[in-house]
Structure 1
Amino acid sequence: MFKKILFCIFYLTLFSPFNLASAEEENAEPVADYQYYALEPDIITNYIKPGKHLGYIRLGIDLMVKSTTAYQAVETHEPIIRDRIITILGEQSEQQIKSITERKIIRTRCLNAANDAIFEITGTRPIEDLLFTKYLDQ
């Protein structure tokens, strides 16, 4: 009888949910603290348009970062991020600005340029994604 009770106690402690939870916590990766950094004010710049007309684009941009340190890096280096994005937009033609498929390519180029700009200074690539929250062209 004593052996049965001892076996039951051993069995319950071995497979208890508390033991399983602590084992999962040990194997779990740190939870990412995703945050969004909005570039304020919106970016307004010109683009290449044929003829004597001047084309302009207005963009609202949010940058997704994974941690508070990445958020601080983006906040600190916002001017160079804005410069790289404005440079890329200024190189685009009217056809590229108005095309939806080209818009995705422009977004990817802006993301890579922003990460490269920060990488040159800090050695890290803190931006996970770049989102156009507003996209107006004329």
Structure 2
Amino acid sequence: MKKLSLRLLATISLLCSLLSFSSHAQDAPNFGYLSLEPDIITNYIGTSSKKLGFVRVTVELMIDSVDVLEIAEHHLPLLRATTIEIFGQQPEDKVKSLTGREDIRQAILKALQDHMRKETGAPIVKDVIFTKYLYHS
């Protein structure tokens, strides 16, 4: 009798856990990803006015939801141009340092969200991810 009660209790506990997991899975974010292809290749400001460096970056955008992925794709030229413009304004020391790279990433994210808010009424871009980051001076 005790074994039956323990099994029943374990089964009920397992079912409650599965129901809880199921409801959390439905509430989970439904992010989408969009690549800025081809890679971003542009110049940045070198240490002297006569010297330019270049940077090559593979950029992935995390989009709020797969439901708005098509909207983000429609604005891809704007998103790409904004990213290139921000990289082109960066000094060499910022491009080459890890903290500078993070500052650039945050600046791109903010600019993309501002543009998307202006164009669509929502920020749409959740995050900016650099999957490849190469520079040469």
Q: TM-score scaled to structure 2, two decimals?
A: 0.77
Equivalent of 2:56 in 50, 55, 58? 58
Is 1:111 the counterpart of 2:106? The answer is no
Rounded Cα–Cα distance in structure 2 between residues aligned with 1:86 and 1:55: 14
Is 1:33 the counterpart of 2:36? The answer is no
Gaps of 5+ in 1: 1-14
Rounded Cα–Cα distance in structure 2 between residues aligned with 1:42 and 1:91: 18
Gaps of 5+ in 2: 1-11
Rounded Cα–Cα distance in structure 2 between residues aligned with 1:40 and 1:52: 30
C-alpha deviation, 1:34, in angstroms: 1.6
Q: Report if the CA contact (8 A) 2:45-2:51 is conserved.
A: no
Q: Larger C-alpha radius of gyration, 1 or 2?
A: 1
Q: TM-score scaled to structure 1, two decimals?
A: 0.77
Rounded Cα–Cα distance in structure 2 between residues aligned with 1:47 and 1:36: 27
Where in structure 2 are the equivalents of 1:83-102 lying within 5 Å? Answer: 83-102=81-100
Rounded Cα–Cα distance in structure 2 between residues aligned with 1:66 and 1:96: 28
CA-based RMSD of the aligned residues comes to 2.4
Match for residue 119 of structure 2?
121
C-alpha deviation, 1:54, in angstroms: 2.2
Identity %: 40
Rounded Cα–Cα distance in structure 2 between residues aligned with 1:93 and 1:66: 31
Deviations 1:21-74 (A, max 9, x none): 49x84x987332122111110011111111423211111000111312221121
Q: Report if the CA contact (8 A) 1:70-1:127 is conserved.
A: no
Instruction: Give the count of matched residue pairs.
Output: 122
